[in-house]
Structure 1
Amino acid sequence: MENLSTKDIVKKYGFKFSKSLGQNFLIDDSVLQDIVDNANVNKDDLVIEIGPGVGTLTKELLKKAKKVYAIELDSDLIPILNEELKEFDNFELIHKDALKTDFNELIGTENSTKVVANLPYYVTTPIISKLLKENYKFESLTIMIQKEVGERIAAKPSTKEYGALSILVQYYCDVEIVRKVSSDSFIPRPKVDSIVIKLNKLSEPKVKVKNEELFFKIVRSSFNMRRKTLWNGLKSIGLNKEQLEMAFTNAGIDSKRRGETLSLDEFGKLSDSIYDLQ
């Protein structure tokens, strides 16, 4: 069994990288190993990989998982992946846009599903939002993403990184930063560093709210203009002045605070308080 490196495979097929698809392939084996080890894949797991590139991470996952579905959008990579991974009978390649994929169709009745991906920077937030908000049955997501986005996901209240994305992910998951990855670890080399992050999906969201849609609407409105007070951010939420005052009072939150100072729990209280008055 030939064990070619990412660079070797790219050279072998004369593969041309696509800027529009944000292709940066990992060439550092230590990072590859850290992703696989932290994903904690075993023979009971179905693994869904998004953006397998030339299949170097895929190959390591196939050695450990019950089955791997790899979702790849780039037509030029399909023959390469099929050729390089043909010896594995637990491999299935899906030529599709991950944002248009129904993951529950793939998961079916599997008990343990893990997502592993080196996500293109430009689709990181839409893919994470889709995976979490559409209620797919995942155990964990071990993903390599832009460092700045990883820091936003893991951020705590009252920091400049803390925002709507922090709340979204921390509502559904426990967040663990695995390691930072230098831009030298990729071909072609991106302009920014990356981070490997593991999101362990909670069986129940971290806070219980009466209306999830309203909760996320309040979060978005509170961060739309970071320098604004909560009062100014939430004026258009659908309550009159007296009701909005009452909502803040009932939640025990000062309306002069900024959204970036509120914890997940406080956003939950404020959301339920506004819901009760609508």
Structure 2
Amino acid sequence: MTHTPRKRFGQNFLRDEGVISRIADAIHPQKGEHLVEIGPGQGALTEALVTSGCRLDVVELDRDLVTGLLAAFSIHPGFKLHSADALKFDFATLADDGAPLRIVGNLPYNISTPLIFHLLGFAPLIQDMHFMLQREVVQRLAAEPGNKAWGRLGIMTQYHCEVEQLFDVPPEAFYPPPKVQSAIVRLAPRRERPWPDCDESRLKQVVQAAFAQRRKTLRNNLKGVIDDAGLEALGLDPGCRSETLALADFINIANATADSTNAEKG
């Protein structure tokens, strides 16, 4: 399939057969499973997925790639192509067979974060997700408290999913080679959370406020959200920075402030 990579779509096509094989092994698709590939590009990974006998839906934005993908893979009965923008795509429409979705993608770096947040909205329908991302983004997804990579992306993703950083992929595995290092990550939506559920919209508000200015303290960033006494009642030091707090701490703040907001409304 001949195609000139388009910068506006953030296209870097995977070419290294060894890397392709390693990614396919990590995904390990099985006959009868339902996979969804986002941005199949020239079909480097698509071949390894569809020949497993799985049902495979692919979502491709670049219409110039559609004809080649259909010519290469329509022979497989489980293959279906959707010419659409993954950021706007309703993935719930694919969950019509009762099988959990397994999402796969070499995600363009410029849309990776908003696309992950979009997909988290469908977490109950998803078994797992395997993504090729900029390594810095993977490090943020897999970060732990106390690490400077710990922030909104990792907190909200880990609220929904278990995160596992699998392996790095060098720039020379792509055409054209990107200017950044890449990595593969596995996200597995949690069926049971090890902490109480909370109002997710409130949690998002708390986390966004807490990391509005990373160098400032909780006291400053959460002014208007919770006072010093409220933080201390949760066992938190108002003078510490947000990056030192665990996910459970943010959930406790969200729950505490949601309760007070509801009480004020009542």
The alignment's TM-score, normalised by the length of structure 2, stands at 0.94
Task: Supply the AA of the counterpart residue of 1:266.
Answer: D
Match of 1:146 among 129, 134, 138: 134
Match of 1:132? 120
Aligned to 2:198: 210
C-alpha displacement at 1:97, in angstroms?
0.3
Q: Aligned equivalents of 2:129 and 2:53: distance in 1?
A: 15
Q: How big is the shift at 1:83?
A: 1.1
Q: How does 1:59-138 map to 2 (within 5 A)?
A: 59-138=47-126
Residue 135 and residue 178 in structure 1: after superposition, are their counterparts in 2 closer, same or farther (change >3 A)?
A: closer
Q: Distance in 2 between matches of 1:134 and 1:86?
A: 27
Q: Look up the SS of the partner of 1:249 in the other structure.
A: helix
Match in the other structure for 2:234:
251
Letter in structure 2 aligned against 1:195: A
User: How big is the shift at 1:235?
Assistant: 1.1
**Pair 1:134–1:51, CA change in 2 (3 A):** same
Residues 1:260 and 2:248 are matched in the alignment: no
- Local SS of the residue matching 1:191: coil
| Matched residue, 2:252 | 269
Question: How far 1:89 sits from its partner (Å)?
Answer: 1.6
What residue number does 2:19 align with? 31
What is the aligned length?
Answer: 261
Q: Which secondary structure state, in structure 1, belongs to the residue aligned with residue 99 of structure 2?
A: coil
Q: CA deviation at 1:101?
A: 0.8
Deviation at 1:157, TM superposition (A): 0.8
Give 1:136 deviation, angstroms. 4.7
Name the SS for the 2:7 alignment partner.
Answer: coil
The offset of 1:190, in angstroms, is 0.6
Give the deviation of 1:206 after TM superposition.
Answer: 4.5
Contact 1:229–1:258 (8 Å) recurs in 2 = yes
Q: Distance in 1 between matches of 2:171 and 2:112?
A: 17
Contact 2:166 2:185 (8 Å CA) reproduced: yes
Report the residue type matching 2:172 in the other structure.
Answer: D
Tell me, yes or no, if the aligned pair for 2:91 and 2:122 is still in contact at 8 Å.
no
1:44 Cα deviation from its structure 2 partner: 2.3
- List per-residue Cα deviations over 1:27-75 (Å, max 9, x = no partner): 1112111211111211121100000001121111001142100000001
Measure, in 2, the Cα distance between the counterparts of 1:112 and 1:38. Answer: 18
Q: Deviations over 1:225-274 (max 9, x none)?
A: 1001111111133x5xxxx2332122111111111000011111122122
Aligned to 1:160: 148
Asked if 1:51 is matched to 2:20, the reply is no
Aligned residue in 2 for 1:227: 215
Tell me, in whole angstroms, the C-alpha distance in 2 between the residues paired with 1:193 and 1:111.
34
Amino acid at match of 2:139: E
1:6 alignment partner in structure 2: none
**Range with bigger deviation, 203-212 or 263-272:** 203-212
1:183 aligns with 171
Inter-partner Cα distance in structure 2 for 1:225 and 1:104: 36
Is the contact between residue 142 and residue 163 of structure 2 (CA under 8 Å) also seen in structure 1? yes
How far residue 90 of structure 1 moved from its aligned partner, in angstroms, is 1.1
Unaligned segments of structure 1, at least 5 residues: 1-8
State the percentage of identical aligned residues: 35
Structure 2 unaligned spans of 5+: 262-266
Indicate conservation of the 8 Å contact 1:175/1:199, yes or no: yes
* AA of the residue aligned to 2:212: N
User: 2: distance between equivalents of 1:207 and 1:39?
Assistant: 28
CA distance in 1, matches of 2:213, 2:197: 24
Listed one character per residue, the Cα deviations across residues 196-220 of structure 1 (whole Å, up to 9, x for unaligned) are 0111111134432432111111111
Q: For 1:189 and 1:196, locate their aligned partners in 2 and report how far apart those are by CA, in whole Å.
A: 16
User: d(CA) in 1 for partners of 2:60 and 2:127?
Assistant: 22
